[in-house]
Structure 1
Amino acid sequence: MRHLLIAGAASLACAGPLAAEGRPAQDRPDHNRIDLIRPDAPELAATGDHPVGVRAATFTDADRIDVIATGAQGTPPTADRVLEAEIWYPAAQGTPPGGTYDTILRDGVTPAVLTGAAARDADPAEGSFPLVILSHGYPGNRHLMSHLGENLASKGYVVVAADHPDSTYADQGAFASTLVNRAVDQRFLLDSMAGLEGDLAAVTDADRAAVVGYSMGGYGALIFGGAGLSQTAIARTEPAGYVPPQDLLGRLAAGSDDHAALVDPRVKAVIAIAPWGRQADFWDAEGLAGLEKPLMLVAGSADDVSEYDAIRQVFDQTTGTTRHLLTYQNANHNAAAPIPAPLEAWAFSESLGRAPFDHYADPVWDTVRMNNILQHFSTAFLDQHLKGEDRGAYLDLVPDGADGVWSMTEDDQPDAAHSYWAGFPNRSATGLQFETRQAGE
């Protein structure tokens, strides 16, 4: 309750264009909060029992093939691929909460400061915690899903998010690089976290890992999870920006030895938010059936980038596993994943030609609400598959939230007629769908 009151106060402080002291809100030390929990949030969105720490890290994959520099012929050149990362983790009890992140906006130029609960360079808690890899979209950066990083760390997870080179706001390059590198980056992050030294190594259990990817991060997560690419994708000759040279995309093809070697048994679950690719036939039914890890898909029903119908095809065709599809009715491509639009994103950007606001926000849904719902379902799903906790009540739901029946006894206990979504306050599941299919279906 104390957290909710503090979060609510922060929300009110940031709501207007001018702060109480008469200064612009972006000059205040508490603006751009990423850790807000609304009073109507579902149960498992609430911040966990652990204080949260965060550390910067740099991981270098030496001699990775440089996709952008590779020509039509000759030996593909290699270069060091450097991933700048943030690592969130459960911190030692008594760690004072609060810290900031220096970042830039979608325009690749405008600086912004985000405020959260994580304490920079705090001592880790005692214990060993499962690993979650967060992977941003194209373009994006390691802070785009920082709300989820902090939230999961408070519940006993180590979480890493990295800037994917050629795919960030600052260095957005040819799309072909992201097509080839994204799933490989995710595997490299897993290996890097497994090879940590020092106090963070002691608390990181990389043998119990999950990948959470948004848009192109979701594309990579599906490939890394076992869904090899189609021959249509491999043989593509246009548009030019989608076609890596020298068949470099072939190593991700379904049935290839390279793809089989990429898939890792340490990954126990996959969450793909608005995954890009099925609308452009980067998978077919056979390739998607190769994904055998538990899967949760998240989408907006109005997504016109990854296209909602195509995401439903992914849901239909991943028959090798039990999977869920969480749908935000009438939300577009920004459903659930991005942080709330920083205040600086409300202003016109000369370099972008518009305000960057629409990169973060949805025309229909409040971003904090979407974040809280994602935090709730991610917690249930990851607790179930990485920690072995029974979270079935939160995942076995009436498919349409509006169809759930709220029915309580006089002492406020669910009666036989009650079928409302577990953990959701009354009247709060409208506009959501949560569907489940078993392996083989």
Structure 2
Amino acid sequence: MRQIPAIAAGLAALAVLVTSGCSAPAPPRADAPPVTPPGPVTLPAPTGPHPVGTTVLHLTDTSRPDPWNPDADTRELKVTLWYPTGQRDGKPAPYMTPQESELLLKASRIARVSYDILSTTRTNAVRDAVPSGHGFPLVVLSPGFTKPVSTLTSLAEDLASRGYVVAGIDHTHENHGTVLPGGRVAECLACDSDSDPGFGTGVVQGRAADVSFVLDRLTTTWKHSRLIDRGKIAMAGQSIGGAAAVATMVKDPRVRAGIDMDGTTYARIPKDGLSRPFMFLGSKDHVPGGLDTSWDRDWKLLTGWKRWLVLSKAEHQSFTDLPLLAGALAVRPVPGVLPAARSSELTRAYVAAFLDQHLKSRRQPLLDKPSPRHPEATFCPEACARP
């Protein structure tokens, strides 16, 4: 399964990492010369005033079976939380485990670097830091298909530094590898079905159920539930994770606002519309009448506050950490593609502005009209040229 579409063909060795489906390019030639990567990548520093803590929860929903594993009568989820803390010193959290890095790179047929290389990525959040404060808005993050939620870490850390609790969900069996308690590894069982009719619709409905369950637990039984303002919850996602934001808002009224970052949508909005705030943030393939037409269809049914922004020179994964990680994988930047640091800066700016306006009631002029400081952002549908 693919979301529309992937990244420039010139990213050869990264082709699977930066697409959202399960297909893989041909493996590197056996006689290819070895590559020495330049060293670990450090994610961009958060821009808000709060130090950031992070922790991992493993939750089990006993009310439903796993949709991908017929032998599992419960649904296990790994949830990564980022939040404000007063603790500035401490051990930074790992970006992902060595095993998760290996599974992702092997599935992507990237064999010219050490398989644990992504586990060396340097984050900015202190592992298991004590939370500070209470009553923060909650933002749920959902990643692209086959990708772990760690690929949204830079955005999550920035939001936490700005005064949000962020819950990133690894939707079990929908990425190349999630390490569960006891060292168990949940691999991508969904990848075997990604070409089936109705696959996308099934995925987003399953993810909506995952989100509702996580909200139930975080706002009631989690030991730090006081951190969360239950009346201020939003969801953002990339690729099919963005599509899942639409599906979740249709099903769960607790989610007051949503963002779809470059994801073809699947869940149908009711005919009477969706009146809660929503923002599309995407690449050129999401201009009106472009390669993906789902945004054209859904735009008419968004009856509340809404924005449709397209970033020039952005590609499908420009809204994730993957371009930032290219250096660790010895991949050269592709001419004409939005530079990694700039794509991260733009994504952070527009996502934070949307959330500040709709969860913190702080008006954001950035969302009202084009900005000379952000010339890459075009407001659609009026200002977007059709292909």
TM-score for both structures, normalised by structure 2: 0.72
Letter in 2 for 1:213: G
User: Which of 208, 213, 237 matches 1:188?
Assistant: 213
**1:291 equivalenced with 2:264 (yes/no):** no
For 1:340 and 1:34, locate their aligned partners in 2 and report how far apart those are by CA, in whole Å: 11
1:337 is displaced (CA, Å) by: 2.8
For 2:298 and 2:38, locate their aligned partners in 1 and report how far apart those are by CA, in whole Å: 42
Letter in 1 for 2:158: N
| Residue pair 1:300, 1:308 contacting (<8 A) in 2 also | no
For 1:201 and 1:434, locate their aligned partners in 2 and report how far apart those are by CA, in whole Å: 37
Could you tell me which residue of structure 1 aligns to residue 358 of structure 2? 385
Letter in 2 for 1:431: E
Q: Which one has a bigger Cα radius of gyration?
A: 1
1:386 is displaced (CA, Å) by: 0.7
**Greater relative contact order (CA < 8 Å, ≥ 6 in sequence):** 2
Query: After superposition, what is the alpha-carbon deviation per residue over 1:61-119, rounded to whole angstroms, capped at 9, x for unaligned?
Result: 1142343456xxxxxx8621111121000001554584432343443563322212110
**1:147 equivalenced with 2:141 (yes/no):** no
1:246-325 equivalent positions in 2, closer than 5 A: 262-264=251-253, 266-277=254-265, 283=268, 287=270, 290-302=273-285, 308-314=291-297, 316-325=299-308
For 2:126 and 2:243, locate their aligned partners in 1 and report how far apart those are by CA, in whole Å: 31
1:434 is displaced (CA, Å) by: 2.7
User: Which of 361, 364, 382 matches 2:337?
Assistant: 364
| Residue pair 1:61, 1:82 contacting (<8 A) in 2 also | yes
- Structure 1 unaligned runs (5+)? 1-22, 37-45, 71-76, 227-261, 348-356, 399-420
SS of the residue 1:276 aligns to: coil
Could you tell me which residue of structure 1 aligns to residue 379 of structure 2? 434
SS of the residue 1:117 aligns to: strand
Query: After superposition, what is the alpha-carbon deviation per residue over 1:244-263, rounded to whole angstroms, capped at 9, x for unaligned?
Result: xxxxxxxxxxxxxxxxxx32
1:211-250 equivalent positions in 2, closer than 5 A: 211-226=235-250
1:212 is displaced (CA, Å) by: 0.4
1:315 is displaced (CA, Å) by: 5.5
SS of the residue 2:74 aligns to: strand
1:289 is displaced (CA, Å) by: 5.4
For 1:332 and 1:204, locate their aligned partners in 2 and report how far apart those are by CA, in whole Å: 33
1:96 to 1:162, Cα distance in 2 relative to 1, 3 A: same
For 1:99 and 1:78, locate their aligned partners in 2 and report how far apart those are by CA, in whole Å: 30
1:33 to 1:94, Cα distance in 2 relative to 1, 3 A: closer
1:288 to 1:122, Cα distance in 2 relative to 1, 3 A: farther
Aligned residues: CA RMSD = 3.1
User: Which of 32, 42, 45 matches 1:33?
Assistant: 42
| Residue pair 1:288, 1:319 contacting (<8 A) in 2 also | no
1:25 is displaced (CA, Å) by: 3.5
1:296 is displaced (CA, Å) by: 0.8
1:274 to 1:289, Cα distance in 2 relative to 1, 3 A: farther
For 1:433 and 1:204, locate their aligned partners in 2 and report how far apart those are by CA, in whole Å: 33
Among the aligned pairs, what percent are the same residue?
26
For 1:152 and 1:133, locate their aligned partners in 2 and report how far apart those are by CA, in whole Å: 11
| Residue pair 2:50, 2:162 contacting (<8 A) in 1 also | yes
For 2:72 and 2:290, locate their aligned partners in 1 and report how far apart those are by CA, in whole Å: 34
SS of the residue 1:287 aligns to: coil
SS of the residue 2:159 aligns to: helix
| Residue pair 1:193, 1:206 contacting (<8 A) in 2 also | no
**1:138 equivalenced with 2:138 (yes/no):** no
1:160 to 1:332, Cα distance in 2 relative to 1, 3 A: same
1:120 to 1:205, Cα distance in 2 relative to 1, 3 A: same
| Residue pair 1:296, 1:325 contacting (<8 A) in 2 also | yes
Letter in 1 for 2:74: D
1:195 to 1:95, Cα distance in 2 relative to 1, 3 A: farther
1:345 to 1:288, Cα distance in 2 relative to 1, 3 A: farther
Aligned residues: 315
1:193 to 1:293, Cα distance in 2 relative to 1, 3 A: same
